[in-house]
Amino acid sequence: MPYAVELYLDEEASAAVERIKVMLSDNSTDIDQGTRPHVSLSIYADLPILEFENEVRRFAKKLSLSK
């Protein structure tokens, strides 16, 4: 089963991306309207999900969001 690792944007950044998508769409540029604004970090054809979840948890514990 394929998996994607994505980071979603906060509300302000998402709104800015959505405004750009509308401008591009208005200029006949085909934009996928079915996705939420994000940054794709990786795409896997297969992923040992339990191991991956454990690694992400360990990584997240090391982060400090109060800098």
pTM of the model as a whole: 0.61
Contact between 38 and 8 under an 8 Å Cβ cutoff? The reply is yes
Q: Which residue numbers in the chain have pLDDT < 70?
A: 33, 64-67
Residue 28 has a pLDDT of 80
Per-residue pLDDT at 52: 92
So what's the pLDDT on residue 1? 83
